[in-house]
């Protein structure tokens, strides 16, 4: 396409002293239309940039451009609808007086199989949708604009659906898909987990509860298979769901049986829940003893209770595994102050003539007193921690003991940390008492011993910062 013509279409310039759109378009009719590398005519370009005035003038001169398609089989109307240029869409449709011709244009699809209404819905151009509201051409796999609106995850399309169903309620009953694999709008909304969309569909067409897909599955079947818990609960909370829970699909499975099947296979590690999405046929035989009817709500609550119970049990088991390591550490810490209490630093008075025979030699030193007290504290706290771990082991037998086990685990951890702190202090005081005649050496050894506390806090700070960086 000539640069002059392209710039005119892009800017909406229909003519000036050096350029007249009419001259170029008339030459195009005689010599063939000028197009871009993508096959766009001047009308396509003007529609892309929203130049409605140039579109209107161009159609007056060359009406045949209205149905001309580019290399993607797109008309100017498809481009304008996709871009949301409301005025351009209005101008393009206003040029057609015959209703059948107008319907033919709006039914034209691009390479993707979408009509102008599909594109407007997908791009959320609500004003364009309203202009095209009387047209509901089928798209790929017989998909209507209602199906396209339901498939979209964008908020705000509920109003579009309301408008569509206000124009023609029969849209909700049309199916999308192939001859052997199709579903309706409420099935699509159930598979997407869109409760608001389902509610909107039911407000306009309450009887679409009863719609079945190609496998005779209702909306509850689809919600269960796609792990859409919110939709399942929404459907169960309705008084109208009694005819859904006991309705078998092609393989004879009710929604209740499918829910149990998913739970059983996931619990034994055969599948992840996501493996069941979009699947409708199974190699498993129908269980004739599967419970159906109004008891489905109660059974589903029991399934949820079992899931919670199993999760609590797994968490308790993980806590007890960690406690096994802690109890070994607590036992080792307990033996240290016990051994230090039997063999006190400095030794004992061995003079048989002395009245203090058998007494600690360093008994009169303050640092020795600090050593003995901290050693006793370390021993006591370690023993208490071990007792708590024993109590945890007994308590964990109760399936509902998760909260108690967690509290006991935290409490035991506190006592164990205090005992470790007391061991460090006992070490420092014991060394200071025995090395007090060399003050420099005593201070150095005590400082090195106490360094473990500082290093511990530095490690904790480092781990906290590392976890924070990961979460960000």
* C-beta of residue 66 within 8 angstroms of C-beta of residue 74: no
Mean pLDDT of the chain: 78
Query: How many separate helices (H) and strands (E) can be counted in the chain?
Result: 21, 2
Tell me which CATH homologous superfamily contains domain 1-137.
Ankyrin repeat-containing domain (1.25.40.20)
* C-beta of residue 276 within 8 angstroms of C-beta of residue 227: yes
For the stretch 326-369, pLDDT in tens is 888 888 888 888 887 777 777 766 666 667 666 777 877 888 88
Query: Rg of the Cα trace of the chain?
Result: 40
Q: What is the mean pLDDT of residues 213-239?
A: 85
Dig out the tokens for 138 from the structure.
């089928």
Residue 241 clears pLDDT 70, i.e. is over it: no
3-state secondary structure 344-400: CCCCECCCCCCCCCCCECCCCCHHHHHHHHHHHHHHHHHHHHHHHHHHHHHHCCCCC
Decide whether 1-137 matches 140-291 in CATH topology. yes
CA distance 133 to 165: 10
* C-beta of residue 248 within 8 angstroms of C-beta of residue 221: no
Share of residues in the chain with pLDDT > 90 (%):
10
DSSP 208-237: GGG---TTS--HHHHHHHTT-HHHHHHHHH
pLDDT of residue 85: 93
CA distance 457 to 265: 45
Q: What is the mean pLDDT of residues 305-309?
A: 63
- Greater pLDDT, 155 or 380: 380
CA distance 316 to 403: 9
- Greater pLDDT, 378 or 21: 378
* C-beta of residue 10 within 8 angstroms of C-beta of residue 54: no
Q: What is the mean pLDDT of residues 431-436?
A: 84
For the stretch 174-212, pLDDT in tens is 888 777 888 888 988 888 888 888 888 888 888 888 889
Dig out the tokens for 292 from the structure.
């159906």
Q: Tokens 């029991």 label which residue?
A: 302
Q: Which CATH number fits domain 140-291: 1.25.40.20, 3.40.1380.20, 3.40.50.10440, 3.40.50.1860?
A: 1.25.40.20
Q: Dihedral sign for Cα 43, 45, 48, 49, please.
A: negative
Helices (H), 212-349: 219-225, 229-237, 242-245, 255-267, 296-342
* C-beta of residue 67 within 8 angstroms of C-beta of residue 105: yes
Between the alpha carbon of residue 270 and those of residues 162, 262, 305, the distances in Å are 42, 10, 21
CA distance 166 to 172: 11
Strand partners, 15: 20
Domain boundaries, the chain: 1-137, 140-291, 309-471
**Confidence tier at 284 by pLDDT (50, 70, 90):** very low
The predicted model scores a pTM of: 0.39
Cβ-count burial of 358 within 10 angstroms (0-12 exposed, 13-18 middle, 19+ buried)? Answer: exposed
Q: What is the mean pLDDT of residues 278-299?
A: 41
* C-beta of residue 238 within 8 angstroms of C-beta of residue 273: no
DSSP 128-149: HHHHTTT-----GGG--HHHHH
Cβ-count burial of 106 within 10 angstroms (0-12 exposed, 13-18 middle, 19+ buried)? Answer: buried
Dihedral of CA atoms 355, 359, 362, 365 in degrees, nearest 10, equals: -80
**Confidence tier at 245 by pLDDT (50, 70, 90):** confident
Q: What is the mean pLDDT of residues 316-329?
A: 85
Select the highest-mean-pLDDT range: 307-321, 377-391, 393-407. 377-391
CA distance 132 to 108: 13
Angle between helix axes 99-107 and 86-94 (nearest 10 degrees) is 140
**Other residues' Cβ atoms within 10 Å of the Cβ of residue 190:** 31
Strand partners, 423: none
State the DSSP H helix or E strand holding residue 457, giving kind and residue range, or none if neither. Answer: helix 439-471
Q: Tokens 């509920």 label which residue?
A: 158
Select the highest-mean-pLDDT range: 67-76, 138-147, 354-363. 67-76
* DSSP type of residue 426: H
* C-beta of residue 414 within 8 angstroms of C-beta of residue 420: no
| ∠ CA 325-327-333, rounded to 5° | 110
């Amino acid at each position: 396409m000539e640069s002059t013509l392209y710039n005119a279409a892009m800017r909406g310039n229909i003519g000036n002293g050096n350029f007249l759109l009419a001259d170029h378009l008339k030459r195009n009719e005689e010599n063939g239309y000028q197009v871009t590398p993508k096959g766009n005519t001047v009308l396509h370009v003007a529609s892309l940039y929203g130049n409605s005035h140039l579109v209107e003038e161009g159609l007056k001169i060359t009406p045949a451009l209205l149905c001309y398609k580019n290399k993607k089989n797109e008309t100017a109307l498809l481009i304008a609808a996709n871009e949301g240029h409301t005025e351009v869409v209005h101008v393009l449709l206003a040029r057609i007086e015959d209703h059948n011709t107008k319907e033919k244009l709006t039914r034209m699809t691009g390479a993707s199989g979408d009509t102008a209404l599909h594109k407007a819905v997908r791009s959320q151009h609500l004003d364009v949708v309203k202009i095209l509201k009387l047209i509901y051409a089928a798209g790929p796999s017989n998909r209507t604009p209602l199906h396209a609106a339901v498939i979209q995850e964008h908020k705000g399309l509920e109003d579009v659906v309301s408008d569509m169903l206000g124009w023609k309620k029969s849209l909700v009953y049309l199916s999308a898909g192939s001859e052997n694999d199709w579903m309706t709008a409420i099935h699509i909304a159930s598979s997407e987990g869109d409760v608001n969309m389902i509610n909107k569909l039911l407000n306009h067409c309450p009887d679409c509860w009863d719609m079945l897909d190609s496998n005779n599955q209702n909306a509850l079947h689809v919600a269960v298979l796609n792990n859409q818990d919110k939709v399942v609960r929404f459907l169960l909370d309705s008084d109208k769901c009694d005819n859904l829970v006991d309705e078998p699909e092609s393989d004879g499975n009710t929604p209740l049986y499918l829910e149990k099947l998913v739970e059983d296979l996931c619990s034994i590690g055969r599948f992840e829940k996501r493996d069941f999405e979009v699947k409708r046929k199974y190699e498993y035989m129908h269980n004739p003893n599967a419970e159906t009817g109004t008891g489905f709500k109660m059974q589903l609550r029991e399934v949820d209770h079992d899931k919670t119970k199993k999760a609590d049990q797994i968490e308790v088991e993980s806590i007890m595994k960690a406690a096994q390591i802690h109890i070994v550490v607590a036992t080792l810490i307990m033996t240290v102050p016990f051994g230090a209490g039997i063999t006190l630093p400095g030794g004992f008075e061995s003079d048989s003539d002395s009245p203090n025979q058998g007494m600690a030699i360093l008994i009169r030193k303050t640092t020795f007193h600090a050593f003995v007290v901290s050693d006793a504290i370390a021993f006591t706290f370690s023993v208490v921690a071990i007792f708590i771990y024993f109590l945890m082991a007994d308590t964990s037998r109760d399936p509902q003991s998760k909260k108690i086990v967690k509290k006991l685990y935290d409490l035991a951890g506190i006592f164990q940390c205090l005992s470790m702190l007391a061991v460090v202090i006992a070490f420092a005081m014991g060394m200071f008492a025995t090395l007090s005649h060399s003050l420099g050496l005593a201070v150095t050894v005590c400082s090195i011993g106490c360094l473990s506390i500082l290093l511990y806090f530095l490690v904790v700070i480092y781990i906290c910062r590392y976890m924070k960086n990961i979460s960000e």
